[in-house]
Structure 1
Amino acid sequence: MALEPAFALVIGFVVLHQQPDVLALAGVGLVVLAGVGAERTGQRAAAVPPVVT
């Protein structure tokens, strides 16, 4: 999902002939980096089994 902004930027450039500015490129780069960082370091807590009384 982190690559969706990059695909949108490329499609806008190729299909719509839009010129991305530096701020748009930096924003896409930061979103992609955040997605990569979340994927590499994000861990879920181990599931705790319910206590039966």
Structure 2
Amino acid sequence: MLTHTDQRPYSCENCQKGFTSRYALKIHKRQHTNERPYICSHCAMDFLRKYLC
């Protein structure tokens, strides 16, 4: 269980920030690429994370 340890085996090659899961790294990388895959059905704005939509 890496969450309760200081181990962060997945790191971003752009900023060297470490993550405990590949998924968290994948979401983080979107900040560097400006990828916004989630589009609001009400206002058509695009978002980095689904829960913001």
- The alignment's TM-score, normalised by the length of structure 2, stands at 0.30
**Bigger share in helix:** 1
> Which is greater in Rg?
1
**Bigger share in strand:** 2
